[in-house]
Amino acid sequence: MTTVKETAAEEPVRPAPSRPARPRPRPARMNPADVLRVGGSGLRSRPLRVFLSALGIAIGIAAMVGVVGISTSSTEDLNRRLSALGTNLLTVTPGQSFGGGAAHLPDESVEMIGNIPEVESVSALGKTGAKVYRNDHIPKEETGGLNVYAARTDLPETAGAEIVDGRWLNAANQRYPAVVLGPTAAEQLGVFRAGTGTKVWMAGQWVTVVGLLAPNELVPELDSAALTGWTFAEEELGFDGYPTTVYTRVEEAAVTDVQAILGATANPENPSEANVSRPSDVLAAKQATDDTLSGLLLGLGAVALLVGGVGVANTMVISVLERRSEIGLRRSLGATRGQVRNQFLCEALLLSALGGIGGVLLGIAVTSGYATYQGWPSVVPVWAMAGGVGATLVIGGLAGFYPALRAARLPPTEALSTT
């Protein structure tokens, strides 16, 4: 016994072998496709609410894309018209004299302007005191606002006037009672065709309508004008021979330089009594006014977009409140806060993207319909479409961040206890 006790006392006590520590369970990772699938299933469960929320964003984006598209289409149409009409037309008109009376341009102003090397062509109109009537039974007071002008034979080339029926004045008929009517003048006088049998009453005699003009946007004064030959106007209508408007076509690269010297060239003795203008500038100014209105409408579209963002935030907050049991169940099964947060954030982004894409398509449809109605080319800038979708994603992200954060911070026990 003594031997056994001594042996047991001498043997060292060996520690029990330690078991390797179990690795802590890791939550399953969700790849982007899983996040999209989970987020999409959340939206599909409430289709009506999703549609109404996306509609708010779509209206805002459609307004913005439509305003930008219509403004761009209008600008493109203006550029095409200016390209066709030309931006190198300058006009010279008499202003006021030093004493405040009406000035006039010299007889030689057309020839002097034509001597400028950069001038391609020059022509003129001279306003007469005569009036034109449909027939000799119309009272003299009922002029209809129509004016009679003496016109040079080279006016169409310089002013860009087009004949839609008949012919223009020429060397053969400029001294005879012949007239060319603008579209507004022809409509008021009841003239729809030119020819030897078509006559109007002017200065106590019948005058044959030899031609009809097309509308001229760059020179709108021709639309309501009755144009006769220069010689006929001097001999029969009491025209004094002074041009009242000189039209000048110049080289495109020299428009600014010629514009600076045109007044002094037309009236060397009194340069301040000559007014120089560029008709294309009027159209550009009108376009600038339209751009200002477009900016205002763009602001209204931004307000609508913000309202749509509030709708997304409201939808997501209600969704979190209604789906607390789902959140609690997912957290109990191991879903992390980040996964829950990404799920709701993904839903908000998908909801905004649906509204943004729908708004872009609606804006394109509105732009195409309005441009077609106006006869404009339909142009929707790519940056407007991409910016619209990008803005909705930003709005959706901001609107859905708080609801997603609130869902992620919801404890599982609290979420399950509220069901």
Q: What is the mean pLDDT of residues 67-93?
A: 80
pLDDT digits (tens, 9 = 90+) for 363-407: 899 989 988 888 888 888 898 888 888 888 888 888 888 888 888
What pLDDT is attached to residue 282? 64
Largest CA distance in the chain: 162
What is the share, in percent, of the chain residues with pLDDT greater than 70?
87
What pLDDT is attached to residue 286? 61
- Let me know: does 125 contact 303? Beta carbons within 8 Å: no
CA dihedral 297, 301, 302, 307 (to 10 degrees): 140
CA dihedral 259, 261, 262, 263 (to 10 degrees): 120
Closest CA to 182 of 209, 153, 152, 154: 209
Please report which confidence band the pLDDT of residue 2 belongs to, taking 50, 70 and 90 as the band edges. Answer: very low
Beta-carbon neighbour count of residue 6 at 10 Å? 9
What pLDDT is attached to residue 339? 87
Task: Quote the mean pLDDT of the chain.
Answer: 83
Residue 10 has pLDDT above 60, yes or no: no
Q: What is the mean pLDDT of residues 209-224?
A: 90
Span of 126-130, 207-211, 289-293 with lowest mean pLDDT: 289-293
What pLDDT is attached to residue 213? 94
When comparing pLDDT for 324 and 106, which is higher? 106
Please report which confidence band the pLDDT of residue 169 belongs to, taking 50, 70 and 90 as the band edges. Answer: very high
pLDDT digits (tens, 9 = 90+) for 37-47: 888 887 888 88
CA 368 to CA 370: how far, in whole Å? 6
Burial class of residue 218 in the structure, from the number of CB atoms within 10 Å of its CB (0-12 exposed, 13-18 middle, 19+ buried):
buried
What pLDDT is attached to residue 77? 81
When comparing pLDDT for 323 and 14, which is higher? 323
CA 8 to CA 242: how far, in whole Å? 142
pLDDT digits (tens, 9 = 90+) for 254-273: 888 888 898 899 888 888 88
Angle between helices 279-322 and 324-332 (to 10 degrees): 70
When comparing pLDDT for 337 and 280, which is higher? 337
pTM of the model: 0.60
